[in-house]
Amino acid sequence: MAIPIESVTVGVGDLDGALKLFRDGLGLQVVNDTRASVGLLSVWGYPVHEGVRLIDLVPPGGSGRLRLEHCESGMSRHTRLDSGPDARDVPTAIGPKAIHIEVAGPLGPALETLTSHGYQRRSEPVRWGDGIEAAAVAGPDGLTLVVSGAGKGAKSTGVTVSAVGASVVTADLEASGRFYGELLGLSAVEANRPEDAPPEQLARLAGARKGARAQVLAVGGGDSGTRVLLVSFPGEHSPSLTHPMQPGQLGMTLLSCRCESLDVMEEHLRTLGIEPVKPSTHVGLPVGRPGRVMLVRGPAGELVELYDLSP
């Protein structure tokens, strides 16, 4: 049975600014606004006295979920910083890469919305297939946003986000696909289809050097929750990120999945030979109910939060 990727968590330094972009500008709907419990803070590695606000947003009628994480005492360390004068990671570094936002209409209005909120493009739009366009944008706290939609000539109906997802750079596409397949039961399907971006276009969106090519597998999405793109750059220098994915940082910090039973999941992990980063722990969950949480590290350094609800 497949366990969908429920949400991707993003640490933000300016919560009001992030809400103005994702909620007010792009039209995502707030479905949960709470504070992390003492138990959850402990599992995530925070001091238990910290005030951490968590806000879940979804595209109305679409797929995927974005959770904003904001620490009131401040956040300064970036999970990924691979662009600009302060960059310390290369664009092809292994680890979480970008938040992906798909709009139902043309790309232009979405880019105009981002620009009006002070977020500038990192790439010119690339085009492929039947009028599809995409561009990379420097989002909150330097987080890369990859926005895609219909190309020029498409009828504009404003900005309607149809899906929210994420991408992760991996050194071993097969191993990463196997991790999501064996752990969560999600099928990894090749995303280099004719209707999808060619390898060279994907590499340009990622900020890779000219001539680089990207290979992609897609897991989840649609009825199966938040879509994650697994990306590799064969032949390119791909070190690990300076700071691995971890709550309390700016940028992507968690991929979350709800399980029916962590007891069953723990047994499943043992059969796979996977050792949890954090064992199953009783906590108060952001949904307002008690439950248990466990953290697992993936082959590309992604941090996966597995949780269940108490009866």
- Report pLDDT digits (tens) over 241-269: 999 999 999 999 999 999 999 999 999 99
Q: What is the DSSP code string of 11-78?
A: E-S-HHHHHIIIIIIT-PEEEEEEE--HHHHHHHT--TT--EEEEEEE-TTSB--EEEEEETT----B
Dist CA 275 CA 183 (whole Å) = 12
- Report pLDDT digits (tens) over 189-247: 765 443 466 778 888 889 999 889 898 999 986 665 899 999 999 999 899 999 999 99
Q: Is residue 25 part of a domain?
A: yes
CB 29 within 8 A of CB 60: yes
Dist CA 103 CA 201 (whole Å) = 19
pLDDT for the residue 197 = 66
Per the model's pLDDT, the better-predicted residue between 211 and 151 turns out to be: 211
Count how many domains the chain has.
1
Q: What is the average pLDDT value for the chain, to the nearest integer?
A: 91
Q: Is residue 186 part of a domain?
A: no
pLDDT for the residue 221 = 66
Q: Which residues have CB under 8 Å from 193's CB, separation 6+?
A: none
Whether 61 has a pLDDT exceeding 90, the answer reads no
Query: What is the domain-level CATH number for residue 273?
Result: 3.10.180.10
Per-residue pLDDT, averaged over 266-292, amounts to 94
Structural domain boundaries enclosing 56: 7-78+245-309
| CA distances to 36, 225, 259, 294 from 2, in Å | 27, 10, 10, 18
Q: Single out the residue of 230, 245, 228, 259 nearest to residue 297, CA to CA.
A: 245
- Report pLDDT digits (tens) over 86-140: 899 999 999 999 999 999 889 999 999 999 999 999 988 888 777 788 999 999 9
Beta bridge partners of 35: 53
pLDDT for the residue 192 = 47
Q: Is residue 201 part of a domain?
A: no
Q: Is residue 210 part of a domain?
A: no
Q: Is residue 14 part of a domain?
A: yes
pTM for this entry = 0.94
Q: What 3-state DSSP class applies to 186?
A: coil
pLDDT for the residue 193 = 45
CB 28 within 8 A of CB 161: yes
pLDDT for the residue 200 = 83
Dist CA 240 CA 270 (whole Å) = 26
Q: Is residue 121 part of a domain?
A: no
Dist CA 234 CA 192 (whole Å) = 14
Q: Is residue 43 part of a domain?
A: yes
245: tokens are 């994915």
Helix axes 173-184 and 262-272, enclosed angle (nearest 10): 140
Q: What 3-state DSSP class applies to 158?
A: coil
Q: What 3-state DSSP class applies to 109?
A: helix
Dist CA 4 CA 1 (whole Å) = 10
**Backbone dihedral angles phi then psi of residue 257, each to the nearest 5 degrees:** -140, 135
Q: Is residue 42 part of a domain?
A: yes
Q: What is the DSSP code string of 187-235?
A: -EEE---TTSPPHHHHHHHTTPPTT---EEEEE--GGGBSEEEEEE-TT
